[in-house]
A = this chain, B = another copy of it.
Amino acid sequence: MALLEPIEYEDASREVRAVYDDIRATRNTDFVNNFWKVLAHDPATLARTWAAAKQVMAGGALDPLTKELVYIAVSVTNNCEYCIHSHTAAARAKGMTTQMWTELMAVTALANQTNRIANGYRIDVDERFRAPLAP
Q: Please measure, in the bound complex, the distance between the C-alpha atom of A119 and the C-alpha atom of B9, giving whole angstroms.
A: 23
For window 42-80 of chain A, which residues contact chain B by CB distance below 8 Å?
A: 42, 44-45, 48-49, 51-53, 55-57, 60-62, 66-67, 69-80
Q: Nearest residue in B to A48 (C-beta to C-beta)?
A: B52
Dominant SS among interface residues on chain A: helix
Contact of A129 among B80, B86, B124 (CB under 8 A): B86
A41 at interface, CB cutoff 8 A: yes
A24 at interface, CB cutoff 8 A: no
A25 at interface, CB cutoff 8 A: no
Give the number of times this chain occurs in the complex, counting copies.
6
Q: Nearest residue in B to A41 (C-beta to C-beta)?
A: B102
Are B39 and A97 in contact (CB-based, < 8 A)? no
Contact of A115 among B34, B41, B70, B74 (CB under 8 A): B74
Are A111 and B35 in contact (CB-based, < 8 A)? no
Are B35 and A114 in contact (CB-based, < 8 A)? yes
Are B67 and A121 in contact (CB-based, < 8 A)? no
A100 at interface, CB cutoff 8 A: yes
A106 at interface, CB cutoff 8 A: yes
Are A135 and B98 in contact (CB-based, < 8 A)? yes
Q: Please measure, in the bound complex, the distance between the C-alpha atom of A75 and the C-alpha atom of B125, giving whole angstroms.
A: 14
Q: Please measure, in the bound complex, the distance between the C-alpha atom of A108 and the C-alpha atom of B123, giving whole angstroms.
A: 16
The smallest C-beta distance from A53 to any residue of chain B, in angstroms, reads 6
